[in-house]
Structure 1
Amino acid sequence: MTKAIEIIKMPRLMILKGVEGLTLDQLNKIPAGFNNNIIWNLGHMIAAQQGVCYKRAGLPAIIDDEFWDTFRPDSKPGRFFDENDLAKIKGLFISTIDQLEIDVATKPFPNYSTWTTRYGAELSSIQEAVSFIPFHDGFHIGYITALKRAI
């Protein structure tokens, strides 16, 4: 495992373990003062990584369009997420990072278009995109931690 992928994967494994005992009601609860919930944040981390790494490079995402639409940037939880949704998120949470590692090592990402994130970071390559993912994931892990305390 490359160091960059390890830096993404380890906190993801930690946060999965941290939400392990929560019920579906707890994962779906939107406490006062928040506009999303724990399960949405988990799904969003997957969708955002797919958008930043694949869609911005003009490549098809690993996730399907429905998953993308549900968890894409600027979306909000629009429904109750059930056991099937949770199982899908858990399955994709690490597998998409494993696939990213393979793809970065074996596929060219020649059409990665330079763009500026909402946080002011300019990304011009897949390597820069991979370097950005820990920041974005950390932001949402912070929200998950705060949500967990609020439920």
Structure 2
Amino acid sequence: MNYLNSQLQLTRQKVLSEIEGINPELFDIQPNGFNNTIHWHIGHVLTVAEQFLLGYPHTNHLPANYGELFGYGSKPADWKGEVPSVETLVQQLQEQVNRILAIPEERYNEKLPQPFLGLETVGEIFTLALFHESNHLGQIHAMKRVIDAAN
């Protein structure tokens, strides 16, 4: 196993552990100073990892409306229609890891069709996905602490 896969497993496990330790009543609270909820962050981590590494929305692993619900610039205040539960999103996060780990290591050196934020290869996008997920793990942790302190 390569270091990127090891880091993905570590990061995703930390995200899942953080979620597991949160009182479900807190998932949809949007504390002052935050643009989103913990529920949104969970869906966002899932959706963006799928976009960066697995070709969403051109895959059949996640529903088409996840981009509208959890994509860049979205927020719970704009949610319309049915929103997946946190339980569903957690299950999808668990399943997604296996799809990402199945990416052949030789693909990491493949050039992207066009550079993204100065990144040029699949491996570089993988590191961005890890950074992104870690950043949102921190946001989830901070939101939990702010909500707990307010109660």
State the TM bucket, normalised to the shorter chain. 0.7 to 0.9
Q: Which moved more, 1:64-73 or 1:17-26?
A: 17-26
How far apart are residue 111 of structure 1 and its match?
A: 7.7
Q: Which runs of 5+ in 1 are unaligned?
A: none
Q: Which runs of 5+ in 2 are unaligned?
A: none
Residue identity opposite 1:55 in structure 2? G
SS across alignment from 1:113 = strand
- Percent of residue pairs identical: 20
Check conservation: 1:51, 1:61, Cα contact below 8 A.
Answer: no
Check conservation: 2:42, 2:86, Cα contact below 8 A.
Answer: no
- Distance (Å, rounded) in 1 between the aligned partners of 2:134 and 2:32: 22
Change over 3 Å in CA distance of 1:112–1:43 after alignment to 2: same
Give 4+ residue runs of structure 1 displaced > 6 Å after superposition. Answer: 106-111
Q: Which runs of structure 2 are paired with 1:4-19 in the superposition (5 Å)?
A: 4-19=4-19
Q: Could you say what the CA RMSD is over the residues aligned between the two structures, in angstroms?
A: 3.0
How far apart are residue 110 of structure 1 and its match?
A: 6.4
When normalised by structure 2's length, the TM-score is 0.79
Q: Which moved more, 1:67-76 or 1:13-22?
A: 13-22
- Distance (Å, rounded) in 1 between the aligned partners of 2:45 and 2:60: 14
1:134 matched to 2:130: yes
Aligned to 1:143: 139
Q: Which moved more, 1:136-145 or 1:14-23?
A: 14-23
1:99 matched to 2:95: no
Change over 3 Å in CA distance of 1:59–1:101 after alignment to 2: farther
Change over 3 Å in CA distance of 1:134–1:39 after alignment to 2: same
Change over 3 Å in CA distance of 1:10–1:61 after alignment to 2: farther
Residue identity opposite 1:87 in structure 2? E
- Distance (Å, rounded) in 1 between the aligned partners of 2:91 and 2:55: 20
Residue identity opposite 1:147 in structure 2? M
Q: Which runs of structure 2 are paired with 1:46-57 in the superposition (5 Å)?
A: 46-55=46-55
1:116 matched to 2:116: yes
- Distance (Å, rounded) in 1 between the aligned partners of 2:91 and 2:43: 11
Change over 3 Å in CA distance of 1:136–1:68 after alignment to 2: same
- Distance (Å, rounded) in 1 between the aligned partners of 2:62 and 2:106: 19
Check conservation: 1:8, 1:134, Cα contact below 8 A.
Answer: yes
Give the number of aligned pairs: 145
